[in-house]
Amino acid sequence: MAERLRNSFKVIVVTGVPGVGKTTVLSIAEKKARERGIKLKVLNFGDFMLNKAVAEGLLKDRDEIRRVSLRQQLELQSYAAKAIIEEASRELGSDGFLIIDTHAVVRTPVGLLPGLPKHVVDELKPDAIVLIEADPKEVAARQQRDISRYRADFGGEEGVKTAYGAGQDSRLLQRHPLRVYRNHHYQQGGKGRGGRGGAA
């Protein structure tokens, strides 16, 4: 049997650096989908990684994910991709939409790890990838204000700019449709939070 090129439902990966406002954007998308009767399921990639890692006794909280070994990172990513598609396949038909919330890059002790490496993209088979960006200075400020997470090693504004570049490069290398969405919500005085995000 030939390998499937896409899932029966549409898959959209929404990605960005921590603090860019993915959770706020996706909450708006969910509201619009409900209003229009669109069957939409939003799953967080990092939740699947975290639950698997906790079950195996590898860690206790989300911030520890990016400090496990590279091999463990790759294995957790692979598991999450397969589990997400399996769950969505049970609930969505050909008229459904799956949005996967994840980070563009994962900042680890040994450097930046792509949030969507090839083996993950091959499993998810996205129809599109959306990269959300916002003003780096504002993103860095929100990272610092988020006391619920440890992000002191993110490098401030310059760290955000570096992650932006690495995130775009890793997406383009996968040869999937890429759309960059500029999130102006916070620059206009809106309120929100960085959200759960992926593993970073």
Could you report the per-residue pLDDT of 46-95, keeping only the tens digit for each?
999 999 999 988 887 777 877 788 888 889 999 999 999 999 999 998 99
Residue 79, token pair as written in the block? 């598991």
HSE-up (13 A, CA, CB side) for residue 15:
33
Predicted local distance difference test score (pLDDT) of residue 188: 43
Which of the four pLDDT bands, split at 50, 70 and 90, describes residue 191?
very low
H or E element that contains 132: strand 128-133
pTM of the model: 0.73
Q: Where are the domains of the chain?
A: 15-188
13-43: per-residue pLDDT in tens?
998 777 777 888 899 999 999 999 999 999 9
What is the C-alpha to C-alpha distance for residues 153 and 195, in angstroms, rounded to an integer? 18
- Here the tokens at position 49 are 């990684």
Question: Between 108 and 181, whose confidence is greater?
Answer: 108
Give the fold, CATH level 3, of 15-188.
Answer: Rossmann fold (3.40.50)
Write down the pLDDT at residue 190: 44
